[in-house]
Structure 1
Amino acid sequence: MTRLTSRVADWQRAGTRETIGGHRIFVRERDGDPNLPPLLFLHGYPSSSYDWREAFDRIAGHRLVVFDFLGFGLSDKPRDELYSLRIQADIAEEVARRFDGAPVVLIAHDMGSSVATELLARDIDGKLSFTLASALLFNASMVREQASLLITQKLLLSRFGPVLARLTNKPTFLRSFASIFSPSHPLTPDEAADQWALLTHNDGHRLLDKLIHYNRERVTPPTSDRWHNALRDWPGRLELGWAELDPICTEAVLRAVLALRPHAALTRLPGLGHYPQLEDPQRVYDLIQRHASQS
């Protein structure tokens, strides 16, 4: 198991591990103005809430909460779990209950945006346990049929997935991870070290084939239909922030999302790859601050 870097160790000390759904989940939060809506951040695969660390310095006023999904980052990583979007959405609901009924602004990226579609569906069904003020979704395979998966992702979803997960090492992971950053904002050595430390914490890299299960759900009815319908029918304010050089969630994915929701507000992020919040934090957090101020 790789040791946590000093930066990640500081991040760990700034948060807590709380029992949610029978598992220990890493949560970090910051108090804010009770007159402003709180912000709940959902992270992507295969990373963690550490992706959103800049929020604590760049977002003014609002109460903030980030957490690691089950199987990710500093949360528990059970070996026998079926890592469904529904389970992750259950955890998000539990975390959101701390807002005591205040309408919540949801900020999500990658897998987190897919979890968000389940939360939207629950809201449509009248079963969501908290009030959603609005949602800002960044690059994600929300219409997975149009996504351009990496070779490693395809292999992890195949019958060879368990073997690939067992063989994953630092050079192979970082080569794949670096490929989804833009040429002008490459993966830095510090970021690479931090991401690898979080992934391998409690041997999480051996679960990569299990953690990517949600990609199967995204193309399997009835769940796939449920989430597409949620994008189309949720009555609240939904905005998209889309990095244009993302090699996975390409323009084809964006067009498919907009076909479901033609009038969604869209902010394009030219020159950025799959992790815009890591590549150009100021641009991303300016967008988040603006979105939150309108909620």
Structure 2
Amino acid sequence: MQKLTHWLNQGRFHKHAFKPHFENNIFVRHEGDKSKPALLLIHGFPTCSYDWQPIWDSLSPHFYLITLDMIGFGYSDKPTDFPYSFAAQANLIEDVLTSLDINQVHILSHDYGNTVSQELLARNNDAKQKQTPPCFEILSCLLLNGGIFPEVIHPILIQKLLLSPIGFIVAKGMGYDAFKRNFDNICCINIDDIELRKYWQLIQHNQGDRIFHKLIQYMKERVEHRDRWVGALQQYKQPMRFINGLEDPISGHDMLKRYQELITDADTISLNGVGHYPQVEAPEQVLEHAFSFWKSHKIMT
């Protein structure tokens, strides 16, 4: 099992100005041959880019890999006065890819990262309508479990509590044992305790417990911007696949069914016996279906 220090040492910190004269440090990791297709990996809530560690080495021979800890997550800064939003995270990703001189990218995203992907897709659509070039073109999109359709999300108790007026108290009072119980609840295949403690360490880094209740507001934002973000998926004409762990109590079977109802010619993969974190619970299955998707569209050979 990889040590966190190794993951940290393989990355760097990108300075991003969210407002004039004020920069935040954002952890970014990129690796591989830049002549190969660029693959952007966008993590979920409440974890970070380390989620991609189980499949990273298998992907690296085929892609120029790019990932980051979005603001409020992992090794990145976690300011208490920041207006956390999907638009802000999309702005951050645009800034990082611009700094790397990337203008075309394939996306692999999970959970919270799916909604960031939806906002990026919406921006691509906006640019086409205005007949202006996007910041970068999204050539394909591969989605793992996540709340892409808010009407069929089933939030668990801790999410409801964090979203409530006492969310800041709940966040401060949460310890590792409560975190582990909730993680075990959403994963069908239990994650090793050593790995879970790494996730908890990354959440706690930079006093992450201070902003849990701020980050969780994304659930309201999904409802508010539902038409824009669902429309982004429906209007997307490039290759797209949804891989879903069916035993996920938050966004499992019902989310897959809704995707098939709303997306024309939906390309979906069902993973039986897998929960909310397919790339961690069943990395080999995710790789199998990701590779078949990319090969079928001649994205990789």
* Structure-2 separation of matches of 1:81 and 1:257: 32
Deviation digits for residues 173-230 of structure 1 (CA, Å, limit 9, x no counterpart): 1111121111xx212111111111000001112211111111110112xx22111111
Partner of 2:216: 212
Correspondent of 1:269 among 268, 271, 275: 271
> Distance between the aligned counterparts of 2:100 and 2:206, measured in 1?
30
Name the counterpart of 2:196: 192
SS in 1 for 2:146: coil
Q: Secondary structure at the match of 1:218?
A: helix
Gaps of 5+ in 2: 18-22, 128-132
**C-alpha separation in 2, matches of 1:26 and 1:61:** 23
Corresponding position of 1:245? 247
Structure 2 residue 202 is matched with structure 1 residue 202: no
1:131, distance to aligned residue in structure 2 (A): 1.2
Give TM-score scaled by structure 1 length: 0.92
Alignment of 1:111-150 (within 5 A): 111-126=112-127, 128-150=134-156
Secondary structure at the aligned position of 2:142 is classed as strand
Q: Which residue of 2 aligns with 1:45?
A: 45
CA–CA distance in 1 between the matches of 2:281 and 2:287? 12
Preserved CA contact (<8 Å) 1:25 1:76: yes
Matches within 5 A, 1:66-85: 66-85=67-86
Provide the TM-score with structure 2 as the length reference.
0.90
The structural deviation recorded for 1:72 is 0.2
Gaps of 5+ in 1: none
1:262 CA drift (Å): 3.1
**For the residues of structure 2 that align with 1:6 and 1:287, how far apart are their CA atoms?**
24
| 3-state SS of 1:54 partner | helix
Give the superposed CA RMSD. Answer: 1.7
The AA in structure 2 aligned to 1:259 is E
- 1:106 and 2:104 aligned: no
Moved over 3 A (4+): 98-102
Structure 2 residue 288 is the aligned partner of structure 1 residue 286: yes
* Cα 1:100/1:18, change in 2 over 3 Å: closer
Q: How many residues are paired up?
A: 286
Q: What SS is found at the alignment partner of 1:202? A: coil
The residue identity in structure 2 corresponding to 1:156 is L
Alignment correspondent of 1:160: 166
Task: Give the one of 262, 269, 293 matched to 1:260.
Answer: 262
Percent of counterpart pairs with the same letter? Answer: 34
Match of 1:17 in 2: 13
Structure 1 residue 103 displacement after superposition: 2.4
